[in-house]
Amino acid sequence: MLASCHLLLLSSAMLVPTFVHGEDLSWTAATNKVHKRLRREWIWNKMHISEEKNETLPHHVGRIISSIQNSNAMYVLEGDGANSIFKVDENTGDVSAYERLDREKKAEYQLTAHILDRTTNKSLEPPSKFRIIVQDVNDNAPIFVQRVFNGSVFEMSPVGTSVTTVTAVDADDPTLLGYADVDYKVIKGQNYFRIDKSGVIRTAAANLDREQKATYEIVVQAIDGKGLQAAESGTATVRITLIDINDNSPVFNPTKYQFEVLENITLNGEVGKLTVEDIDEPQNRNTKYSFASGNFQDTFLIIPKPYTNEGIIKPKKPLDFEKTSSYQFSVEATDGDISYANSKTKGSKSIATVSIRVIDVDEPPVFNRPSYMFEVVEGSDIKKAIGFVSAIDPDRAKREIRYRVLRSNYFKISNNGAIFAERILDREEHSWHNITVAANEIENGKILPQLETHAQVFIKVRDINDNAPQFTEPYQPGVCENAAPGKVIIRISAVDKDEMFPGLKFTYSLISDESNFTLIDNHDNTANITVKYGEFNRELVKTHYLPILISDNGLPPQSSTNTLSIHVCKCNEAGEFTFCEEAAKQMGVSVQALVAIFVCILTIFVIVLLIALRRRHKKDLNVLRKNVAEIHEQLVAYDEEGGGEMDTTSYDVSILNSVRQSSMTSPRMTQESRPCVYSQVQKPPRHGLSGTGEMAIMIEMKKDEADNDGDLLPYDTLHIFGYEGAESIAESLSSLGSGSSDSDIDYDFLNDWGPRFKMLAELYGLEGGEDFAY
């Protein structure tokens, strides 16, 4: 049927409405100009063939037809599958397929048809493109994209709740009706789940209960619209998990509990554990515990433990065996927030009975107060008790109690808890004594150290006025010789070691009325000292001593005499002191300052020492670094001559001599020939002068010169070393004539020592440029 369709297609212009080449084809350029070609055209552009044909190969596809009538014409194909899958009969233009085609592999082939001249291979017509369309047959069944799908839904969900979506695809042409449509079907588990046309799986039953069955494995099948169904891959498994909700109540297991607990259990301690069973998953249990009977809410707490859901019983207040030795109550476990309205267990209660037995413990003594506060007046009689503490044995035994004062040697405590001071207390020494008292139980006169309790005792020492006021500081005022009467010399104030209570008043008065000074009480606990007569004479009295009586208004009042030393000072016109009494001046240097100064000096000394050591160390290193030749040179430079020519054991004189010879001709020679100004004056000429006479004359001359020059400093030590006598074979030993002979040493290394040695480097670096006299 399909084949005939193609034939029709080829012969019918109606089914091939578009012509590829409808234009005028002129061949004038290529061939004879005289012949005018007629309008030629391909009359097709599309062919169809069905896929998966079961007939014997080749399958006829269609025919290339051209209206050209040329017995020499030849049809040739080019393009997808040309001459392999598709071949054309070169004479008739029949196109055949030599392979079975599969639309799902390749649905369309692009080809080009040529009409050539058999002899010349030249195109008789322009080539034309056409397509071979492979037509679908419903040969593919829908296939699931996964073999296994997972899905989940809350248990107890209403019917129709979506669980998950599955997908199957059909490779057939979707434009052809029914070929690629997919229908789904649940083939296993259809009692609980259904699937719709779009692959959405929904619950088909209410009351899916996780606690009965938590997972379902259903099988779904996909069929295409024509009923075609793949054998294996047309089905898929869907694993559906039910998600837990809190739809079950807790149930006690067991329902009877018996606990024993020591009476000294701490408030954080655990009395016991109640266990419940709840078939919901742990996070959905949320058990609540409450007292059903026996009102012990004030004694115990039941705290649900997360996850395990156990109820932990804890004491809410200390237990006391002597008061209550056992407790009985019942506990109810509920699940407050059950979320499913139709839950079977909703509203049900589980009740357990609990009995707790308190076990007696031998407990340490208990003070009647957590801490004690006593007040004692300073200086009071030590035989009087400061206060009493009291502790008892809380147990039935009611043992006797002994007390101790811990870590204080100021106080002692009697067996009945009375606290005494060991010595008279002084508020000015300690205003508070905060001590710890221990109470122990005794048995047969022996202290039981394990049964010990401590209590804090705060003892406040109350003040009495037992100290007289004094000057705030040792005043050292001065007064001008010519001070005018009424001039304020100083304003004095006082302090009192006793408690400075708010209404405290100091009164000041002079001991004697006959005085050169006046005291004015300022009534603000200070007083001014002023000059009464004026005109003080330093020659007569250098320091005036002024005794002042200071009293307080305490009970009893206290007073003391403080003497003010007033120095008579020289003053300038402005009234400023220019000179006061020396002896009166205090050394204004405190001990701390002295220590600081000493530390500074020590630090400087250590730094200097370190620098010196470092220098020496560097020098040593430097000498070592020098090579042998340099060391020889140094020997020469110092003009060291050793033990003379005969002493060949100490020195290799030949080396010394050779080096010496060479150094004679070296730049050193030129330096020597140009001695410094200083040495020129002092030193007698080396050659030419032969007699001592001339030398003596010269010395005399110099002495005269010096004697007659008044401007010069005494010149007695005049360069005695300058004279060595004449005609010495060994030449002069004086360093004066050698000028800067030391500069023979290479001081370049100084430059490497960094900026710190820059100055030295500059001085020594000037080789021969300047002369230095040492």
Ligand X SMILES: *[C@@H]1O[C@H](CO)[C@@H](O)[C@H](O)[C@H]1NC(C)=O
Closest CA to 220 of 192, 181, 259, 258: 192
Interaction between residue 353 and ligand X (CB under 6 A): no
User: Least distance to ligand X from the beta carbon of 462, Å?
Assistant: 14
27, 49 contact by CB (below 8 A): no
302, 274 contact by CB (below 8 A): yes
Binding segment for ligand X among 102-110, 144-152, 335-343, 474-482 (CB under 6 A)? 144-152
The DSSP letter of residue 305 is P
Q: Is 666 helix (H, G, I), strand (E, B) or coil?
A: coil
Q: Which is nearer to ligand X, 523 or 758 (CB)?
A: 523
User: Least distance to ligand X from the beta carbon of 401, Å?
Assistant: 18
d(CA 140, CA 225): 11
User: Least distance to ligand X from the beta carbon of 43, Å?
Assistant: 26
Binding segment for ligand X among 50-58, 632-640, 705-713, 718-726 (CB under 6 A)? 50-58
Helix (H) or strand (E) holding 440: strand 432-443
- Beta strand extents in 505-663 (DSSP E only): 506-510, 517-521, 526-531, 543-552, 559-571, 577-579
Structure token digits, residue 681: 């004056």
User: How many CA atoms, within 13 angstroms, populate the side-chain half-sphere of residue 22?
Assistant: 6
Q: Pick the binder of ligand X from 21, 46, 53, 462 (CB under 6 A).
A: 53
Site for ligand X in 238-277 (CB under 6 A): 239, 262, 264, 266
Binding segment for ligand X among 3-11, 98-106, 516-524, 700-708 (CB under 6 A)? 516-524
User: Least distance to ligand X from the beta carbon of 128, Å?
Assistant: 19
Q: Pick the binder of ligand X from 167, 190, 516, 558 (CB under 6 A).
A: 516
Binding segment for ligand X among 51-59, 667-675, 689-697, 723-731 (CB under 6 A)? 51-59
Interaction between residue 371 and ligand X (CB under 6 A): no
User: Least distance to ligand X from the beta carbon of 147, Å?
Assistant: 9
606 vs 109, 160, 373, 601, 618, CA distance in Å?
A: 102, 96, 58, 9, 18
Closest CA to 157 of 243, 56, 36: 243
How many angstroms from the chain centroid is the CA of residue 747?
53
Interaction between residue 146 and ligand X (CB under 6 A): yes
Site for ligand X in 524-553 (CB under 6 A): 528, 536-537, 540-541
Characterize 752-772 residue by residue with b for buried, 16 or more Cβ atoms within 10 angstroms of its Cβ, and e for exposed. Answer: eeeeebeeebeebeeeeeebe
Interaction between residue 511 and ligand X (CB under 6 A): no
Structure token digits, residue 582: 């020396």
User: Least distance to ligand X from the beta carbon of 272, Å?
Assistant: 16
Q: Is 160 helix (H, G, I), strand (E, B) or coil?
A: coil
Interaction between residue 52 and ligand X (CB under 6 A): yes
User: Least distance to ligand X from the beta carbon of 459, Å?
Assistant: 9
Interaction between residue 90 and ligand X (CB under 6 A): no
With 0-12 / 13-18 / 19 or more C-beta atoms within 10 angstroms meaning exposed / middle / buried, residue 566 is buried
With 0-12 / 13-18 / 19 or more C-beta atoms within 10 angstroms meaning exposed / middle / buried, residue 344 is exposed
User: Least distance to ligand X from the beta carbon of 42, Å?
Assistant: 21
Site for ligand X in 674-713 (CB under 6 A): none
Binding segment for ligand X among 328-336, 515-523, 602-610, 705-713 (CB under 6 A)? 515-523
Interaction between residue 59 and ligand X (CB under 6 A): no
Interaction between residue 458 and ligand X (CB under 6 A): yes
User: Least distance to ligand X from the beta carbon of 515, Å?
Assistant: 5
> Virtual CA dihedral for 756, 761, 764, 765, nearest 10 degrees?
-170
Q: Pick the binder of ligand X from 5, 65, 137, 549 (CB under 6 A).
A: 137
Binding segment for ligand X among 12-20, 38-46, 421-429, 510-518 (CB under 6 A)? 510-518
Length of the chain: 774
d(CA 467, CA 501): 13
For binding to ligand X (CB under 6 A), which residues are involved? 52-54, 119-121, 137, 146, 148, 150, 239, 262, 264, 266, 361-362, 432, 434, 458, 488, 491, 514-516, 520, 522, 528, 536-537, 540-541
